[in-house]
């Protein structure tokens, strides 16, 4: 049988629960209000009794607060928990109904339980159903509203009474003691904002609007401002001086400004009083409040209760953004200068910038100033270098850094804005160097393979077309490989140039090899294209074209044979230098240890011993590192230069262990002996390395060294003698200049004179025009125009143009004159067919008269540029001829040096085409000089001389740079160019090359006549020239000296 | 030495303390040392010491005998004792030489054979020992037959790791050694030979050993009265006797040069060859001088055979001068013989059979013995460039291209070294024909290069003819046995020959072994070994370099195995116990060595 539903009962219980909850809420509120009223009453009494201090405030809070707390807990529990389950509500209803309930009436709780447990305990289901039926019936009869009201009324009544009493007392006390009421109320509501919540409050004064004058701290760079506000709230930067002015409602005799910071801190300062006017001043330091306490003229003390707020205006730290570098981690060298670009801004002004750094994994950290123009700026984007050299970084260090920019807050101290933290990885120069060498080695490998390919695939015409086609394909592949090798070489060269531990000649040599390869490959590719094109057309090999490819291939092979050997030697030399440097480092470590041991022997204290043992640990670590590096090198240094056993340093650690053990056992002499043995071994290794380099140099390059030395000597001698010759040429050049200036005279007079002649000529031509001018553009017209052009050119001081026009005019006039004569003759013979014979004759006469005038002008213009014969005496010209002969000898010597260079270039590819071209320039300059001297043109000779000297100087610079850059202790692959190298044997390794020195590249005009000469001419030209014609005159004289 | 003996005799006769017979014995002892009769001198020294162990002159004689037995430590110690005991200065003047030799040869290992004591620096030179032993034994047998004398005791042979060591232990300067190319000496009853490691591409070190041994035999046979030109002539002539016949040691080119010099009248007078060939101006002069004396001896031997040569030496041992002895034996004056020889030179037939074709390669001494050789030493600039490009190609696996380059190199600059390289590369390319052609070409140009010998041997082995490879490998061994390929190939070529295999394996082991140092005998106990006089002392199989009675020797306290090797006869071993130092006096070890 299905259980019987208790629907009526459940509805009843739901209604009852809702009513009871509402009643409980009301009752709880009532209790809480009773607490508030009681608290207020106690507070008023306390205030009235002028009781102050924390204990009384506590009583007030405890009384009111405890009642409120009680209400909250008790009624909160009722609301939340006690009527949560229906069974609890049923119990409550059963209890409420109990007094009038018949004995047989089923209790709602029981009915619910029976219904819940039906069948569970083998009870009678019929009985259960009966109970349910009965409960349902009874529930329908219950008036829940009446029931709840009856029950709640009993509980609420005493609470209402209590509240009424408390409220009455509080109200009464409030009415009777309004002051204490305010205090008490304030104590309850604003206990955190009053200095003494329960002290008896003074009456509050009343003020007008408040006038606030702000004077900001200087760093803010703000002008003072004044504001009038009703609430007097202050908002300012720390350090701001605030002047508060207001008027009270009564006349005052004194006033005090009370500043309150936080709970306890407060200060009082006297305010200025003038009648009702009050004025006070304070400096904003922190956020807080201020208020006035005043005394009226009738002696009453008044005080503001809450006062006015003081808020701090926020001074934000600068915003800083790192623009560059963006890469992180960025790999750099330990002594690099890192360029940092930063954008910084501040709400006020920026201060200095700096880099805050920390070496990761260590305790090393610091701040380095940055020379960035941020100070005093509101916003700045700037670059500055961060010098790592000062940080004593070591290869492999990782450096976290951030750029910090301060603001200019001098009151609270500058605030710091910082960029995000980035990382620098201190690249080991040595590691970088090794990578560069590996790159160079790879490029060299590729060059060797290109050589191998060429040697294994010698190009020749093959009869069998398939085989020839295959050969063409292979040759094309080799060309492609060579092009790829060119790219690899480029990469290697860039790396080599940047390698601080590398030798400059290596980069130069690689570049030279690259150029050779590029040139050879291009040439071969062109020949190959031709051969292939022909083959594709004819399907036959063409002998001539195949020979051409073969010939180009041979050139490539010859270059490669020369270059690969030289490059390999340079790399080997570099490896030996590297090994030597490592061994020197090892020796230095051993020396350090010996010193430490000596110090310990001299003073065997515990401290010294500790130092010594620490030194041993350090050196062991270092030896391990160095040994590892040496081991790597061991595999790459050719065994024909150095015995690989010499680089074995495996025993070093074992020997160090022995030293350590001896020291620990107190055998200092033994330890010293062992150390000496190690040092001797290291010295021996070092000597072997140096010998290896010597071996390389002497085995492969002794002849080159000698030739290079001789060539340098010859070059220096040639430069010296050319310089001496140049001084003599200069003397003659100077003489010519002076004489030319003498001849020039006054340009204005010259122009006026020529103009007069031309005008006269033009007048004559104008008279002849009607008879002789037939059409526009005929001969006469042309002649007339040329004369006019000459005049205009003279007016413009363009003597060059004037001369050209005069030449043209003269020629045209001769033609016109001849034509006029012919026409006059015809007229005479054939009548007036060609015009009046008389007129024509007159016109011809005019023309013939004007021609000499133009000729004269031309002659004068030509005399402006005199021939050397006119300027120099016979003796002087003879002397100059001797100089020309001398110059010829020097030119020959220059050509001889070129031969020497060519020979050297055969063996040392570092001497490239460019170097030889520079020498060609020198030779050419000498040729020009010789020619100038031969024709008596000293200024021209001077230009040639300058060109030669300049080229010789550049050549020397180039050669010096080739030979410098890390020859170290001598040996190796030398090129003994440069100062001090021409003195013969025994002057090795004096490296005074300054890598910072720039080689000045001369401009083309420097090959021209000397600057002083031009300047003198131009000065002369400027004399007496009308302003408008200065440029024209200048052009003319420039023409002269060209 | 002779001067010193006279001085010494004067001193002896002036010394009343000596009995006449003792003084005479002492004098005789020194004279015998001067006459290179060390075995006899040693006997005298032994008996004198037994009678007068504290006498300064006797101590000096013992020091001198020790110096001649290569016990430099003992010699230095006894010179000092002799000085302290009042020995005249003239008798101890070799003390500095003993000190220098002691420093130069410290820690040397020793191998004792029936007739020789071979001393060498520990390390790679160990591989020379079995070959040196073989050479020396053969040479001693042939030389004693040819020259009629044989030393009774063991002969000390020292192999020096560098030419500078040779300078340290001899009276030659480094410069003289470098200029003359002298790499070996025979003096103070020992053969002093520089290892082939110290010479660029090595040298004919086995012939040189035989050459120096010949000097020793000549000195002994003649009681050291033979002038240098004849000394060198005989030695040079007989130096090849160990490997075949005498008279094969003058290469064809050298014979041609001699003929040329004879025609031009540019021969070097014999007188200029005194006191040493090593003191001649340069290697060219030295080479010519050797050719002259070689052919002079050849001339003498051809005239009257080896009996005559033995006769000359015997006459000189009896006190005749070289001229007298030669005139005595040949019946004509030396000057006449010399003129006849010179005349014969112009028509002398160039000896070809069994003789090297090229000229003597100039000996280039390395500053440091392990310094690597310049594989292109002396090759022209152009040839060098091709060859070096070939090296770069070969090292990058482009052997075919490398062969092309080397063919260009050989064409540009015909040099045995380039052909040797070409042979190696062609072999790597499997081009056996080209390889063999190049290897034989290289050897034709210069027979004393180990490289082409090795390459040729490999070609022969690859060509399934291993037996034929033995000969070129022996050629390589005779020049520069430090190339491991030689021994690896010997293992393959001579696998049926136990001697070859054993030696090859041993050599490979030595070459692959890590660097060794002299084993330590410990410290804490100072001893002097006295038993069985003039025996070489070994402790725990480690050569001490000392000869009984020894100088002070430091050993670790405790039991040791003592082995004494007498000048002649088998070694004797005894266990001895060394006590820890208890005072300044050393412990004296004199075990009973009789009846082992």
Supply the CATH number for residue B562's domain.
Answer: 2.60.40.1120
Distance CA B538, CA B546 (A): 8
Which candidate in B368, B401, B405 is best for mutational testing of the A interface (most A CBs within 10 A)? B401
Write out the two tokens for B143.
Answer: 């030389």
Note whether A448 contacts B404, CB cutoff 8 Å: no
Lowest mean pLDDT among A196-210, A402-416, A617-631: A196-210
B557 and B524 Cβ atoms separated by less than 8 Å:
yes
pLDDT of residue A1040 exceeding 50, the answer is no
Question: Is the domain of B183 the same as that of B285?
Answer: yes
Query: Which residues are B117's β-sheet partners?
Result: B112, B156
Is the minimum CB–CB distance between B332 and chain A shorter than 8 Å?
no
Q: How many CB atoms lie within 10 A of CB B26?
A: 26
Question: What's the CA gap between A60 and A39, in Å, rounded?
Answer: 5
Question: In what helix (H) or strand (E) does residue A265 lie, and over which residues does it extend?
Answer: strand A265-274
The confidence band for A72, taking pLDDT boundaries of 50, 70 and 90, is confident
Q: Which of B370, B381, B402 sits opposite A645 (nearest CB)?
A: B370
pLDDT in tens, A434-463: 889 999 999 999 999 999 999 999 999 888
Q: Between B373, B385, B515, which is nearest A561 by CB? A: B385
Tell whether B186 and B284 lie within a shared domain. Answer: yes
Read off the DSSP letter of residue B91: G
Asked if A448 and B398 come within 8 Å (Cβ–Cβ), the reply is yes
Residue B156 included in any domain: yes
pLDDT at A279: 93
Q: On the CB side of A77, how many CA atoms lie within 13 Å of its CA? A: 5
DSSP B335-401: HHHHHHHHHHHHHPPPP-TTS-SSPPPPP-B-SSTTSPP-TTTT--HHHHHHHHHHHHHHHTT-HHH
Does residue B595 form part of some domain?
no
User: Mutate which of A440, A565, A651, A674 to test chain B, going by most B C-beta atoms within 10 A?
Assistant: A565
> What phi-psi label fits residue A1001: left (phi over 0), alpha (psi between -120 and 50 degrees) or beta?
beta
Q: B143 and B94 in one domain?
A: no
Claim to verify: residue B203 and residue B318 sit in the same structural domain:
yes
Pick the closest to residue B521 from B551, B492, B562 (CA basis).
Answer: B562
Q: Is B239 on the interface with A (CB under 8 A)?
A: no
Residues B248 and B393 reside in one and the same domain: no
SS3 content of chain A, % helix, strand, coil (to 5): 65, 10, 25
> What residues are paired with A379 via a beta bridge?
A345
Domain presence at residue B596: no
Please answer whether residues A577 and A561 qualify as being in contact, where contact means their C-beta atoms are separated by less than 8 angstroms.
Answer: no
Chain B CB within 8 Å of residue A699 CB: yes
B415 found inside a domain: yes
Q: Is the pLDDT of residue A836 over 80?
A: no
In a domain, B104, yes or no: no
Q: Which residues of chain B have pLDDT under 70?
A: 1-20, 278, 356-362, 367-375, 593-596
Dihedral angle at the C-alpha atoms of A403, A407, A412, A416, nearest 10 degrees?
-20
Asked, for residue B407, whether it belongs to a domain, the answer is yes
Q: Which segment of A473-482, A579-588, B395-404 scores lowest on mean pLDDT? A: A579-588
Q: What is the CATH number of the domain that holds B40?
A: 1.25.40
Question: Structurally, how many domains does chain B consist of?
Answer: 4
pLDDT at A912: 67
Alpha-carbon distance A629 to A636, whole Å?
11
- For the record, the structure tokens of B328 come out as 């005595």
What is the model's pLDDT at position A1010?
A: 39
Q: What angle do CA B308, B314, B317 make, to 5 degrees?
A: 145
Q: How confident is the model at residue A606 (pLDDT cuts 50, 70, 90)?
A: confident
Residue that terminates a domain, selected from B512, B542, B561: B512
- By the 10 Å C-beta count (0-12 exposed, 13-18 middle, 19+ buried), A589 is classed as buried
Token couple for B156: 């000390």
Which phi and psi angles does B210 have, rounded to 5°? -65, -40
Q: What are phi and psi of B588, to 5 degrees?
A: -100, 125
Q: What is the ipTM of this complex?
A: 0.72
Domain assignment present for residue B520? The answer is no
- Tell me whether residue B369 is in a domain: no
pLDDT at A881 over 80: yes
Query: Given B449, B482, B512, which residue is the final one in a domain?
Result: B512
Our CA dihedral for A192, A197, A203, A204, rounded to 10 degrees, sits at: -10
Do B295 and B166 share a structural domain? yes
Chain A, 567-586: which have a CB under 8 Å from a chain B CB? Answer: 568
Residue A8's pLDDT is: 82
Q: How far is A460 from chain B (nearest CA, A)?
A: 16
Instruction: Indicate which CATH number applies to the domain containing B282.
Output: 1.10.390.10
Q: DSSP 3-state assignment of A999?
A: coil
What is the structure's pLDDT at A127?
A: 74
If asked whether residues B123 and B76 sit together in one domain, one would say no
**Among A362-376, A467-481, B170-184, B435-449, which range has the highest average pLDDT?**
A467-481
Same domain, B132 and B69: no
B145 touches chain A (CB under 8 A): no
In a shared domain, residues B459 and B499: yes
**What CATH number is associated with residue B495?**
1.25.40.10
Tens of pLDDT, residues A112-162 = 887 777 766 666 777 777 878 888 888 888 888 888 888 888 888 888 898
Does the beta carbon of B483 lie under 8 angstroms from any beta carbon of chain A? no
Average pLDDT, chain A: 80
Token pair, residue A578, equals 């590297």
Share of chain A above pLDDT 90, in %: 23
Look at A697 and B238; give whichever has higher pLDDT: B238
Residue-wise pLDDT tens digits, A889-935? 999 999 999 988 888 877 777 776 678 888 999 999 999 899 888 88
Q: What is the distance between the alpha carbons of residues A987 and A773, in angstroms, rounded to a whole number?
A: 85
Find the largest Cα–Cα distance for chain B.
Answer: 85
In this complex, the residue of A445, A451, A703 whose CB is nearest that of residue B401 is A451
Q: What is the pLDDT of residue B209?
A: 94
**A700 touches B at CB < 8 Å:** yes
pLDDT tens for each residue of B55-94: 899 999 999 999 999 899 999 999 999 999 988 888 888 8
Select from B180, B299, B289 the least CA-distant residue to B227: B289
Measured N-to-C along each axis, helices A144-176 and A178-189 cross at an angle, to the nearest 10 degrees, of 120
Quick one: which H or E segment has residue A341? strand A337-345
Judged by CB atoms within 8 Å, which residues 351-380 of B form the interface with A? 367-368, 370-375
Single out the residue in B460, B482, B512 at which a domain terminates: B512
- Shortest CB distance from B389 goes to which of A456, A561, A643? A561
- Asked if A695 has any chain B CB less than 8 Å from its own CB, the reply is yes
Query: Packing angle between helix A1030-1041 and helix A799-830, nearest 10 degrees?
Result: 90
Q: DSSP H helical segments within B191-227, as ranges? A: 205-222
Chain B residue at shortest CA distance from A457: B401
Which residue range forms the structural domain that includes residue B450? 381-512
Q: Spell out which residues of chain A touch residue B370, defining contact as CB-CB under 8 Å.
A: 643, 645-646
Min Cα–Cα distance to chain B from A455, Å: 5
pLDDT of residue A57: 61
Sorted by sequence, the CB contacts under 8 Å of residue A146 that are 6+ apart come out as none
Residues A282-294: what's their mean pLDDT? 88
B143 plus B208 within the same structural domain: yes
Q: What is the pLDDT of residue A926?
A: 94
Q: Where are the beta strands (DSSP E) in A408-522?
A: 416-418, 422-427
Is residue A645 predicted with pLDDT exceeding 80?
no
Average the pLDDT over A512-518 and give the result: 91
Contact B373 A640 (CB under 8 A): yes
Query: Is B86 found in the same domain as B140?
Result: no
Contact predicate A860/A750, CB 8 Å: yes
Examine the pLDDT at A7 and tell me if it is beyond 90: no
Give the DSSP H or E segment for A246.
strand A241-247
The residue ranking higher by pLDDT, A692 or B335, is B335
Q: Are residues B569 and B439 in the same domain?
A: no
3-state helix, strand, coil in chain B (%, to 5): 55, 10, 35
**Is A452 close to B381, i.e. CB distance below 8 A?**
no
Q: Which of B459, B419, B422 is nearest to B443 (CA)?
A: B419
> At B268, is the secondary structure helix, strand, or coil?
coil
- Tokens standing for residue A79: 């609301």
Chain A residue with CA closest to B380: the answer is A700
Residue the block writes with tokens 């131009």: A1018
pLDDT over threshold 70, residue A1039: no
Rounded to a whole number, what is the distance in Å from the CA of B22 to chain A's nearest CA? Answer: 48
């Amino acid at each position: 049988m299905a259980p019987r539903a208790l629907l009526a009962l459940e509805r009843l219980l739901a209604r009852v629960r809702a009513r009871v909850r509402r009643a409980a809420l009301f009752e709880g509120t009532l209790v809480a209000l009773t607490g508030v009223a009681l608290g207020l009453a106690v507070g008023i009494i306390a205030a009235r009794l002028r009781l102050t201090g924390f204990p009384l405030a506590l009583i007030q809070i405890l009384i009111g607060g405890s009642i409120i707390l009680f209400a909250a807990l008790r009624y909160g529990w009722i609301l939340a928990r006690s009527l949560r389950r229906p069974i609890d509500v049923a119990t409550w209803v059963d209890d409420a109904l109990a007094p009038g309930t018949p004995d047989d009436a089923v209790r709602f709780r029981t009915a619910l339980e029976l219904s819940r447990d039906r069948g569970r305990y083998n009870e009678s289901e019929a009985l259960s159903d009966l109970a349910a039926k009965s409960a349902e019936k009874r529930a329908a009869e219950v008036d829940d509203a009446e029931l709840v009201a009856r029950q709640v009324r009993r509980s609420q009544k005493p609470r209402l009474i209590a509240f009424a009493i408390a409220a009455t007392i509080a109200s009464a006390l409030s009415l009777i003691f309004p002051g204490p009421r305010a205090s008490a109320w304030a104590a309850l509501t604003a206990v955190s904002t009053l200095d003494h919540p329960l002290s008896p409050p003074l009456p509050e004064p009343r003020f007008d609007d408040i006038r606030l004058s702000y004077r900001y701290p200087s760093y803010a760079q703000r002008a003072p401002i004044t504001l009038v506000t009703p609430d007097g709230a202050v908002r300012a930067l720390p350090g701001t001086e605030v002047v508060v002015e207001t008027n009270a409602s009564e006349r005052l005799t004194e006033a005090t400004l009370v500043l309150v910071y936080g709970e306890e801190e407060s200060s009082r300062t006297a305010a200025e009083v003038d009648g009702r006017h009050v004025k006070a001043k304070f400096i904003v330091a922190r956020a807080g409040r201020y208020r006035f306490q005043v005394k009226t003229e009738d002696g009453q003390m008044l005080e503001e209760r809450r006062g006015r707020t003081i808020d701090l205006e926020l001074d934000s730290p600068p915003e800083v953004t790192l623009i560059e570098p963006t890469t992180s981690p960025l790999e750099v060298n330990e002594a690099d200068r890192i360029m940092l670009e930063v954008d910084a801004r501040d709400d006020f002004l920026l201060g200095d910038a700096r880099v805050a750094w920390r070496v990761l994994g260590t305790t090393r950290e610091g701040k380095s100033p940055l020379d960035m123009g941020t100070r005093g700026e509101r916003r700045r984007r700037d670059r500055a270098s961060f010098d790592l050299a000062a940080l004593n970084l070591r290869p492999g260090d990782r450096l976290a850094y951030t750029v910090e920019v301060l603001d200019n807050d001098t009151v609270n101290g500058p605030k710091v804005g910082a960029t995000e933290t980035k990382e620098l990885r201190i690249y080991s120069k040595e590691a970088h160097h090794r990578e560069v060498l590996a790159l160079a080695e790879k490029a060299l490998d590729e060059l060797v393979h290109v050589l191998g390919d060429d040697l294994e695939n010698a190009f020749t015409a093959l009869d069998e077309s398939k085989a020839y086609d295959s050969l063409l394909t292979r040759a094309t592949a080799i060309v492609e490989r060579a092009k790829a090798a060119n790219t690899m070489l480029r990469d290697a060269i860039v790396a080599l140039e940047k390698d601080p531990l590398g030798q400059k000649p290596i980069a130069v040599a690689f570049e030279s090899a690259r150029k050779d390869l590029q040139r050879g490959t291009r040439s071969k590719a062109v020949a190959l294209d031709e051969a292939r094109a022909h083959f594709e057309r004819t399907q036959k090999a063409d002998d001539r074209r195949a020979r051409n490819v073969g010939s180009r291939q041979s050139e490539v092979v010859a270059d490669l044979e020369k270059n690969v050997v030289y490059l390999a030697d340079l790399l080997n030399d570099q490896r030996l230098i590297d090994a030597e440097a490592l061994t020197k480092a090892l020796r230095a470590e051993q020396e350090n240890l010996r010193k430490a041991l000596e110090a310990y022997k001299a003073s065997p204290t515990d401290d010294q011993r500790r130092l010594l043992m620490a030194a041993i640990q350090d050196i062991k670590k270092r030896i391990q590192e160095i040994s590892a590096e040496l081991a790597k090198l061991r595999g790459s240094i050719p065994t024909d230069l150095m015995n690989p056993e010499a680089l074995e340093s495996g025993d070093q650690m074992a020997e160090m262990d022995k030293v350590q053990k001896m020291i620990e056992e107190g055998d200092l002499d033994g330890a010293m002996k062992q150390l000496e043995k190690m040092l001797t071994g290291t010295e021996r290794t070092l000597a072997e390395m140096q010998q290896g380099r010597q071996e390389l140099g002497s085995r492969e390059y002794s002849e080159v060294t000698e030739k290079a030395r001789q060539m340098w000597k010859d070059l220096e001698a040639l430069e010296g003698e050319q310089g001496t010759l140049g001084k003599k040429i200069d003397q003659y050049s100077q003489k010519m200049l002076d004489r030319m200036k003498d001849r020039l005279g006054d340009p204005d007079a010259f122009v006026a004179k020529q103009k007069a002649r031309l005008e006269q000529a033009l007048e004559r031509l104008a008279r002849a025009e009607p008879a002789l001018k037939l059409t526009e553009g005929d001969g006469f017209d042309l002649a007339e125009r040329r004369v006019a052009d000459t005049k205009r050119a003279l007016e413009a001081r363009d003597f060059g143009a004037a001369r050209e026009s005069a030449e043209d005019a003269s020629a045209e006039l001769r033609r016109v004159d001849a034509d006029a004569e012919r026409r006059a003759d015809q007229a005479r013979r054939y009548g007036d067919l060609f015009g009046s014979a008389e007129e024509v004759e007159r016109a011809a006469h005019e023309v013939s008269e004007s021609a000499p005038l133009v000729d004269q002008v031309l002659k004068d213009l030509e005399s402006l540029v005199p021939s050397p014969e006119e300027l120099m005496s016979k003796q002087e010209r003879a002397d100059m001829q001797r100089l020309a002969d001398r110059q010829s000898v020097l030119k020959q010597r220059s050509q001889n040096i070129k031969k020497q260079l060519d020979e050297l270039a055969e063996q040392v590819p570092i001497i490239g085409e460019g170097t030889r071209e520079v020498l060609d320039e020198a030779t050419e300059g000498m040729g020009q000089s010789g020619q100038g001297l031969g024709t008596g043109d000293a200024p021209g000779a001077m230009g040639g001389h300058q060109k030669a000297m300049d080229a010789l100087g550049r050549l020397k610079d180039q050669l010096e740079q080739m030979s410098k850059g890390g020859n170290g202790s001598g040996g190796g692959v030398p090129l003994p160019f440069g100062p001090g190298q021409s003195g013969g044997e025994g002057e090795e390794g004096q490296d005074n090359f300054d890598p910072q020195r720039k080689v000045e590249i001369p401009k083309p005009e420097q090959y021209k006549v000397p600057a002083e000469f031009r300047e003198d001419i131009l000065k002369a030209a400027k004399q007496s020239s009308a302003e408008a014609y200065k440029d024209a005159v200048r052009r003319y004289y420039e023409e002269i000296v060209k | 030495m002779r001067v010193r003996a006279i001085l010494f005799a004067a001193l002896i006769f002036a010394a009343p303390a000596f009995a006449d017979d003792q003084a005479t014995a002492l004098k005789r002892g020194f004279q015998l040392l001067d006459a290179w009769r060390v075995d006899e001198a040693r006997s005298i020294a032994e008996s004198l010491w037994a009678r007068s162990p504290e006498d300064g002159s006797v101590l000096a004689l013992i020091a001198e005998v020790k110096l001649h037995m290569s016990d430099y430590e003992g010699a230095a110690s006894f010179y000092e004792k002799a000085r302290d005991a009042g020995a005249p200065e003239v008798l101890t003047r070799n003390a500095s030489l003993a000190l220098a030799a002691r420093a130069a040869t410290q820690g040397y290992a020793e191998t004792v054979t029936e007739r020789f004591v071979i001393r060498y620096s520990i390390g790679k030179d160990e591989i020379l020992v079995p070959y040196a032993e073989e050479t020396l034994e053969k040479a001693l047998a042939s030389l004693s037959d040819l020259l009629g004398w044989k030393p009774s005791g063991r002969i000390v042979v020292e192999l020096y790791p560098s030419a500078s060591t040779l300078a340290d232990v001899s009276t030659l300067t480094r410069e003289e050694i470098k200029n003359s190319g002298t790499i070996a000496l025979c003096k103070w009853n020992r053969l002093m030979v520089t290892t082939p490691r110290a010479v660029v591409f090595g040298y004919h070190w086995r012939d040189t050993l035989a050459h120096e041994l010949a000097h020793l035999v000549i000195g002994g046979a003649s009681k050291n009265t033979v002038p240098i030109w004849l000394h060198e002539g005989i030695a040079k002539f007989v130096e090849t006797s160990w490997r075949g016949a005498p008279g094969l040691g003058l290469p064809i080119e050298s014979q041609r040069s001699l003929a040329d010099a004879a025609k031009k009248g540019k021969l070097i007078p014999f007188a200029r060859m005194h006191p040493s060939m090593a003191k001649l101006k340069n290697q060219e002069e030295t080479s010519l001088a050797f050719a002259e004396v070689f052919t002079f001896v050849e001339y003498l031997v051809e005239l009257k055979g080896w009996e005559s040569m033995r006769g000359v030496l015997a006459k000189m041992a009896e006190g005749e001068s070289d001229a007298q002895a030669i005139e005595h034996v040949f019946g004509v004056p030396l000057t006449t013989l010399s003129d006849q020889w010179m005349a014969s030179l112009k028509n002398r037939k160039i000896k070809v059979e069994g003789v090297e074709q090229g000229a003597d390669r100039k000996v280039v001494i390395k500053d440091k013995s392990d310094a690597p050789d310049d594989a292109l030493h002396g090759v022209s600039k152009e040839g060098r460039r091709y060859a070096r490009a070939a090296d770069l190609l070969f090292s990058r696996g482009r052997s075919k291209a490398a062969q092309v380059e080397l063919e260009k190199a050989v064409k540009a600059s015909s040099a045995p070294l380039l052909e040797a390289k070409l042979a190696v590369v062609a072999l790597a390319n499997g081009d056996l024909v080209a390889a063999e052609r190049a290897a034989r070409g290289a050897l034709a140009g210069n027979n004393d290069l180990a490289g082409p010998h090795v390459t040729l041997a490999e070609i022969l082995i690859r060509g399934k003819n291993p037996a034929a490879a033995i000969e070129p490998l022996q050629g390589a061994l005779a020049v520069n046995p430090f190339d491991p390929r030689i021994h690896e190939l010997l293992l393959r070529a001579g696998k049926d020959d136990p001697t070859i295999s054993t030696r090859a394996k041993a050599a490979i082991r030595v070459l692959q072994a890590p660097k060794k140092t002299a084993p330590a005998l410990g410290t804490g106990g100072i001893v002097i070994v006295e038993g069985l006089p003039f025996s070489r002392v070994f402790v725990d199989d480690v050569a001490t370099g000392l000869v009984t009675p020894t100088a002070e020797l430091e050993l670790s306290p405790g039991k040791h195995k003592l082995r004494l090797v007498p000048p002649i006869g088998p070694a004797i071993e005894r266990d001895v116990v060394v006590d820890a130092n208890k005072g300044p006096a050393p412990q004296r070890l004199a075990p009973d060595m009789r009846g082992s």
